[in-house]
Amino acid sequence: MSKIALFASGSGTNVENIALYFKDKPNVDIACVLTNNPNAFVLKRAEKLEIPSLVFSKSDFKDTTKVVDYLRDMQVDFIVLAGFLWLIPNGLLQEFPNKIINIHPALLPKYGGKGMYGMNVHKAVVENNETESGITIHWVSEKYDEGEVVFQAKCKVENTDTPEDVAEKIHKLEYQHFPKVIEQLL
């Protein structure tokens, strides 16, 4: 049995999609949802799905073992970042070596790094007249978006697409591929 922790900072649509995907799979348990944002809608999604959740502060995350202790208590063995915006501290990386993945809304190495998330990425893709974009699922390292790539999927970007159009295409790719790639990695 694999026990997964899902980290998110916002709405949590990917968290919900992943939780529903694994709901009837006996070998995978979504053990908990963690967020750095006490107002994140992901908390309401977790409650509706009856998944325990934890809200933590920057100091909890970086300066204490609160998050690692919670993950240990929940017997987590795999972590999925699904719209989580903070850099993962070394203590967490050491506790879960090669057990943390992230999804990025672009084809890395393009449009990665600090500040490159959500609509920031899609605006940059459109402003730079890219003809394609996509998603990258990668292992998490000590630097933003620089871990080894596990999977990429592409979509066409038309010259008439707005950043919102690109976002919609990216969300479709995320919902289609993210749970399946997690399942393969487990």
Question: Per residue in 101-135, pLDDT tens?
Answer: 999 999 999 999 988 998 999 999 999 999 999 99
pLDDT band at 137 (very low <50, low <70, confident <90, very high): very high
Whether 93 and 110 share a structural domain: no
| Catalytic residue (one of 104, 122, 138, 171) | 104
Distance CA 121, CA 157 (A): 13
Whether 2 and 48 share a structural domain: yes
Whether 41 and 85 share a structural domain: yes
How many domains are there within the chain? 2
The pLDDT tens digits of the residues spanning 33-88 come to: 999 999 999 999 999 999 999 999 999 999 999 999 999 999 999 999 999 989 99
Percentage of the chain exceeding pLDDT 90: 96
Looking at residue 28, what is its pLDDT?
96
Whether 113 and 27 share a structural domain: no
Residue 146 belongs to some domain of the structure? no
Residues pairing with 138 in the sheet: 102, 149
Task: Specify the amino acid at residue 118.
Answer: G
Task: Based on the residue annotation, tell me whether 177 is a catalytic residue of this protein.
Answer: no
The pLDDT tens digits of the residues spanning 138-172 come to: 999 999 999 999 999 999 999 999 999 999 999 99
Whether 17 and 81 share a structural domain: yes
Whether 109 and 159 share a structural domain: yes
Residue 147 belongs to some domain of the structure? no
Residue 179 belongs to some domain of the structure? yes
Residue 80 belongs to some domain of the structure? yes
Q: What CATH number has the domain bearing residue 45?
A: 3.40.50.170
Whether 49 and 119 share a structural domain: no
The side-by-side arrangement of strands in the sheet containing 149-156 is 53-55, 28-35, 2-7, 78-81, 100-104, 132-139, 149-156
Tell me which residue range forms the domain holding 165.
104-135+153-186
Whether 183 and 114 share a structural domain: yes
The pLDDT tens digits of the residues spanning 1-28 come to: 999 999 999 999 999 999 999 999 999 9
